[in-house]
């Protein structure tokens, strides 16, 4: 039995006042949710504030939106996985499509970041997914296999024993056009099968999140699929009621 996981990726949004009011709204409703693990990933400057406000409530934990491919040193502007862990992060989003497309992160760089996260005792959440053009060309599985293989190459066959994968079709991110539950399930099954080729046990335990225009209205059906273990949420994680609605949809029972 895999515990459902819902993660909110706030991206580069918010100010102190927004962080305060968003967390207040989330915390007001989250208490009665059963069995779902909830993570929020604020921008780095607000990690301390969020950690402070979460301190009394262990049901929500913090994640980093990214970490450096390097360990500590002369890398201006970078934040290491060790630093993120040191300030209390438990998870790190790795290889989000915005990092890959806007900041030129290659599969190899993403794999290094994944490895740094594991070494720092952060749980890496590897984002994989195809673009519209790749999907239209029937290359979805090929792209995802390439993205997963880069991580296996860097970290070995045990790479996903202590990790999470997020399937995020690029065409569904921020577009209001989510994958259908059946479409998503097919790809999630494929991801689990690829991991099972290296370790059946790790594949069975691996949580695979779906991300891309998840709303409270479509979450239950998506999360009801056999191989969908929760969601990585962008836009809807910025509104307390919407985010809690999605978390509620992931609840057991």
Residues taking part in catalysis: 96, 168
Which is nearer to ligand PEP, 158 or 181 (by Cβ)?
181
Instruction: Please state the φ and ψ torsions of residue 166, each to the nearest 5 degrees.
Output: -120, 120
CA separation for the pair 237, 210 (Å, rounded): 14
By CB under 6 A, tell whether 168 contacts ligand PEP.
Answer: yes
By CB under 6 A, tell whether 211 contacts ligand PEP.
Answer: yes
Shortest Å distance, C-beta 222 to ligand PEP: 12
By CB under 6 A, tell whether 117 contacts ligand PEP.
Answer: no
Which is nearer to ligand PEP, 49 or 216 (by Cβ)?
216
Stretch that binds ligand PEP, among 67-75, 110-118, 167-175, 195-203 (CB under 6 A): 167-175
Which is nearer to ligand PEP, 14 or 211 (by Cβ)?
211
E strands, 35-163, in order: 37-41, 60-64, 91-94, 123-128
Q: Single out the residue of 234, 243, 244, 246 in contact with ligand PEP (rule: CB under 6 A).
A: 234
| Alpha carbon 38 to its chain's center | 11
Beta-bridged to residue 6, according to DSSP, are 38, 231
Residue nearest to ligand PEP (CB): 234
By CB under 6 A, tell whether 228 contacts ligand PEP.
Answer: no
By CB under 6 A, tell whether 63 contacts ligand PEP.
Answer: no
**Whether the Cβ atoms of residue 166 and residue 128 lie closer than 8 Å to each other:** yes
**Whether the Cβ atoms of residue 178 and residue 213 lie closer than 8 Å to each other:** yes
CA separation for the pair 161, 123 (Å, rounded): 10
**Whether the Cβ atoms of residue 124 and residue 92 lie closer than 8 Å to each other:** yes
Shortest Å distance, C-beta 7 to ligand PEP: 9
Q: Single out the residue of 19, 33, 47, 214 in contact with ligand PEP (rule: CB under 6 A).
A: 214
By CB under 6 A, tell whether 173 contacts ligand PEP.
Answer: yes
Stretch that binds ligand PEP, among 65-73, 78-86, 168-176, 222-230 (CB under 6 A): 168-176
Stretch that binds ligand PEP, among 51-59, 114-122, 149-157, 230-238 (CB under 6 A): 230-238
The DSSP secondary-structure symbol of 238 reads G
Beta-bridged to residue 232, according to DSSP, are 7, 211
Which is nearer to ligand PEP, 47 or 214 (by Cβ)?
214
First to last CA, the chain: 13
Q: Give the residue among 111, 121, 116 at the shortest CA–CA distance from 88.
A: 121
What residues line the site for ligand PEP (CB under 6 A)?
A: 9, 168, 173-174, 211-214, 232-236
């Amino acid at each position: 039995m895999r515990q459902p996981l819902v993660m909110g990726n706030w991206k580069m949004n918010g100010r102190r006042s927004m962080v305060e009011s968003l967390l207040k709204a989330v915390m007001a409703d989250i208490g009665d949710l059963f069995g779902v693990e909830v993570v929020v990933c604020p921008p780095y400057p607000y990690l301390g504030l969020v950690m402070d406000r979460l301190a009394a409530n262990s049901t929500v934990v913090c994640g980093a939106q990214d970490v450096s491919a390097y360990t500590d040193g002369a890398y201006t502007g970078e934040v290491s996985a060790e630093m993120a862990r040191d300030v209390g992060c438990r998870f790190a989003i790795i290889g989000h499509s915005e990092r890959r497309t806007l900041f030129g992160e290659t599969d190899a760089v993403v794999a290094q970041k994944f490895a740094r996260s594991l070494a720092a005792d952060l749980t890496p959440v590897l984002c994989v997914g195809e673009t519209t053009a790749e999907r239209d060309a029937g290359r979805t599985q090929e792209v995802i296999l390439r993205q997963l293989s880069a991580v296996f190459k860097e970290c070995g066959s045990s790479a996903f024993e202590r990790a999470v994968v997020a399937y995020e079709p690029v065409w569904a991110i921020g577009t209001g056009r989510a994958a259908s539950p059946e479409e998503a399930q097919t790809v999630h099954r494929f991801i689990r099968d690829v991991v099972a080729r290296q370790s059946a046990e790790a594949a069975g335990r691996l949580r695979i999140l779906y991300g891309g225009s998840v709303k409270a209205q479509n979450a239950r059906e998506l999360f009801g699929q056999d191989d969908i273990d929760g969601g990585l949420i962008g836009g809807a994680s910025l509104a307390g009621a919407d985010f809690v609605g999605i978390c509620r949809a992931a609840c057991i029972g």
